[in-house]
């Protein structure tokens, strides 16, 4: 489906089920998030996934960033007449979920961050930064995460992660007041368990679930375990 936002922006999305809105966030350049897992939740809530700016199905923009993607999400929620939503984000999408809860607390019913960190070390920052530069220089994503994406959106995605080294979100997390579920795979080599532990200590009242046998993003690697934790979390929302 498509919906018009403002004068010149259309959003391509999937909207299934009824009940509490569960939105799979799409940071710059991302397509439909967790499409293959959506059916796990449609019997329990209203599940929405959309193409972000910079993906070929999501249109292009003159400016990409995590905050810009959050502003786009609020406009999208307005178009669907949704006041507040539960926002799920896996990997880089989890960074966007954190930004959304900080920037738009009045639109956030809860967040679920999966395989995410609110800070990176210098080595990781250089890796993500160089990946963005290489994408612009060659037109190809060296990390092979994006295939049908505006290079500028890929640059914004990678440099947004790199920026967490000098401008980490961790000191700001105490400002998140909505219910928060933090999922991390015990074997997640990309995000690492430590970052999720620090997030859980910083976000008031947050729940941390370290999942044995799961890798990078619990929903992506062990979806049946993620489903159990997410449905239990949603069931406890007021």
Q: What percentage of the chain exceeds 70 in pLDDT?
A: 96
Quick one: 133 exposed, middle or buried, by C-beta within 10 A (0-12, 13-18, 19+)? middle
Q: What is the pLDDT of residues 112-148, one digit of tens each?
A: 999 999 999 999 999 999 999 998 888 888 888 887 7
Model confidence at 206, pLDDT cuts 50, 70, 90, reads: very high
In three-state secondary structure terms, 2 is strand
Assign residue 144 a region (left: φ > 0; alpha: ψ between -120 and 50; beta: otherwise).
left
Round the CA-based radius of gyration of the chain to a whole number and report it.
Answer: 16
Q: Are strands 2-5 and 180-185 parallel, antiparallel or unpaired?
A: unpaired
Reported confidence tier of residue 8, pLDDT bands at 50, 70, 90: low
What is the pTM for the complete model shown? 0.94
| Domains of the chain, start order | 2-118+169-235 (3.40.50.1820)
User: Are 128 and 161 in contact, with CB atoms under 8 Å apart?
Assistant: yes
| Alpha carbons 156 and 63: distance in angstroms, whole number | 9
Q: Residue 30 pLDDT more than 90? A: no
Q: Tell me what pLDDT residue 1 has.
A: 76
Query: Rounded to 5 degrees, what are φ and ψ at 115?
Result: 65, 45
pLDDT confidence of residue 147:
78
Tens digits of per-residue pLDDT, 159-180? 999 999 999 999 999 999 999 9
Dump pLDDT digits (tens) for 37-79.
788 899 999 999 998 888 887 778 888 999 999 999 999 999 9
């Amino acid at each position: 489906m498509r919906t018009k936002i403002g004068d010149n922006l259309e959003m391509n999305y999937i909207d299934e089920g009824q009940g509490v809105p569960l939105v799979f966030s799409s940071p710059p350049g991302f397509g439909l998030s967790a499409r293959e897992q959506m059916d796990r939740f449609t019997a329990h809530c209203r599940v929405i996934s959309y193409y972000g700016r910079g993906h070929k199905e999501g249109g292009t923009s003159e400016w990409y960033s995590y905050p810009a993607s959050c502003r786009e999400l609020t406009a999208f929620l307005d178009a669907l007449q949704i006041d507040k939503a539960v926002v799920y984000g896996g990997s880089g999408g989890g960074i966007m979920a954190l930004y959304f809860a900080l920037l738009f607390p009045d639109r956030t019913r809860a967040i679920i961050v999966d395989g995410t960190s609110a800070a990176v070390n210098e080595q990781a920052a250089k890796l993500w930064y160089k990946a963005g530069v290489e994408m612009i220089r060659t037109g190809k994503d060296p990390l092979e995460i994006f295939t049908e994406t505006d290079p500028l959106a890929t640059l914004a995605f990678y440099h947004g992660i790199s920026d967490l080294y000098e401008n980490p979100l961790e000191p700001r997390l105490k400002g998140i007041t909505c219910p928060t579920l933090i999922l991390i795979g015990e074997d997640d080599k990309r995000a690492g368990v430590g970052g999720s532990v620090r997030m859980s200590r910083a976000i008031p009242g947050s729940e941390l679930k370290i999942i044995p046998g799961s890798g990078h993003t619990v929903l992506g690697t062990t979806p049946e375990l993620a489903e159990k934790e997410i449905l239990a979390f949603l069931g406890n929302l007021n």
